[in-house]
Amino acid sequence: MANLVITIDGPAASGKSTIARMLAERLGASFLDTGAMYRAVTLAAMQAGVDMSDEEKLLGILETKKFQFAAKEGKMTVSIDGVDVTEQIRRQEVTANARHIASAAKIREKLVQMQRQFAANEEKIVTEGRDQGTAAFPNADIKFFLDADITERAKRRKAELQSKGSSESMEQIQRAIEERDKSDESRAVGPLRPADDAIVVDTTDLTIEQVVEKLLCCVEEKKRKSTAVLRTPYGENAKSAEKEIGSCFRRNDNVKNSADSAVKSKKPKMRWFRFARWCCKIFCRVFFRMRVYGRENVPDKGAFVLVSNHQSFLDPLFCGVYLKMPMYFLARDTLFANRFFGWLISSVNTIPVKRGEADLSAMKKIIGKLKEGNGVCLFPEATRTSDGKIAPFKPGFGLLCRRGEAAVVPVVIDGAFECWPRHKKIFSPGSEITICYGKAIPAEQVKNMSDRTLAEVLTDTLRRMQTKSRIKHGKKPYNY
C-alpha cells in the first residue's frame, strides 16, 4: 500500500475529480480516478451489447476483457484490450449507463480490489469516488468528503457539457444529478456517505483553488502533527471528534482558571440584549408581515437547539426575535472582519466559526453555552437555499446536541426565500414571513439517536412542516 493515501468522496459535480487531480499534482502523488474504472467497464459492456441489468454478464465482461489503468501526466489513462479509451469513456451515454455498474455488488467488489492493487504500486496516492473513504480505503491517512448545493452542481455540470458541445437544459441536468444522488445514496453496496472520520467541505461558494488550498492545509497539518484531530464530526457516530471534545471539557473541569475555561463565557448583558431584541421586533413589524406559530414548543429553561432551514441572511433574526430566552447563533468568521459589524453581532451572542473545516474551538464554545442551559440556533443545511427547498441536513450537529445535553426544536422559516433570495442584494419589504416551531425532541431521546438518524428525522420533519405551512397559506408546496 502507498505510504500516503488521501481519499476524496462526494456526489456528482461536487468538484472532486478536478480537485483530486490538482491536489495530487501539488503533492507529487498519483491520481486514482475510480470513476474511470466504472466507465471503462460500462463502455466495454456497451460495445459487447450486454444487457446492463444482467449482473452476471457484466461480471463476465470484467473477467474476459483486459483493463489497464495507469497514472500518467496528472491523469489516469485507460485501455481495454490494449486500445486507449481514455476519451471515449467520457461520452454522455457512457456516463448515463455507469450507474448500472456502480450498483452491481460483485463488480464493485472486483473494482475495489483493482483500486487497492493500483495503490499498492504507488508511493503516494489521491483517490476520488463515492466510497473511497468508507469501503476501498477505510484506513486512509486523510479522508475528505466534498459537497455542494444541487443548483451549483448543476451549473458546473452544464458548463462542462457545454464545453463539449452539449445543449442539455439546466432542468435536465439537475434532474439527472438528483437521480444519480438518489441511486448512489440508496444502493446496498458502497452507498454514498461521508466516512465517520471524514473532513466535510462544502464547495458551493468556493473556487477550485480555494478548496485545494483548504485540503492542502489539512494535509500539511497531518504531516506536522500526526496525532492532531483533523476530522470533522460528520457521519453516524463521529467518535474521534467526540472523544477529542469530551477530553477538552474534562480538562476544563479539573483545571480552574485555565485558558480553556474561556469557553464558559459570561452571561449575556441582558439589558442590551433585550433592547436589541426590541429593535429587531420593531424592524420585523415595520418591514414584514409576520406569522409566528408554536412558540409554546420552545422550552422556557434548560438547554435546547433550534434546528432551522436556511432561506436568507435574516433567518437568525426570524428564529430568535420572538423567543423569551437569549439565543446564541453561529456565523462564518469572515463576517467579523468588519470591526463594527463584528462587534455588533458579537454583542448579540454570535459565535464565529470557520467554514468548511473542523472548528473545534467554536464547537467547544457552543457545547459550553448549552451546558450553561442556553439556547443555540443552528442551520444544518450549511448554506442558504437556492430554490426554497430544504436540502438534506448535514449530520454533524448531533454531536453538539448530545454533548450539550440539549433538546432539539425543529423550526421552519417560509417566505424568507422569496423575500431575500441568494441572487438579490437587498430584501423585499412587505413580504409575508412564517415562523413555525415544532414539538421538541427531548434530550434523552436525542442521546439515543445516531447523527445520521437525527439529521434524517429532522430533514423529513421540517419538509412536512414547510409543506403544511405553505398549503395553509395558499402557496404551492415544494416537490420533494
Q: In this predicted model, what pLDDT tens digit does every residue of 24-44 receive, in sequence order? A: 999 989 999 998 999 999 999
Q: In this predicted model, what pLDDT tens digit does every residue of 261-301 receive, in sequence order? A: 333 444 446 678 788 888 999 999 999 999 999 999 999 88
| pLDDT tops 80 at residue 253 | no
Q: Distance between CA atoms of 336 and 343, rounded to whole angstroms?
A: 8
| pLDDT tops 70 at residue 64 | yes
C-alpha angle 447/461/204, rounded to 5°? 90
Q: Which CATH class is domain 256-472?
A: alpha beta
Q: What is the percent of the chain where pLDDT is above 70?
A: 89
Q: Which residue has the higher pLDDT, 360 or 320?
A: 320
Single-letter code of the amino acid located at 357: E
- Please tell me if the domain spanning 4-244 has the same topology as the one spanning 256-472: no
| Grid cell locating 278 | 426590541
Q: Is the dihedral of CA 471, 473, 476, 480 positive or negative?
A: negative
Q: Which residue has the higher pLDDT, 74 or 457?
A: 457
pLDDT number for residue 10: 93
pLDDT number for residue 20: 93
Grade residue 315 by pLDDT with cuts at 50, 70 and 90.
very high
User: What is the residue extent of each domain of the chain?
Assistant: 4-244, 256-472
pLDDT number for residue 220: 86
- 4-244: CATH topology is Rossmann fold (3.40.50)
Q: Smallest Cα–Cα separation from 68: which of 58, 53, 79, 76?
A: 79
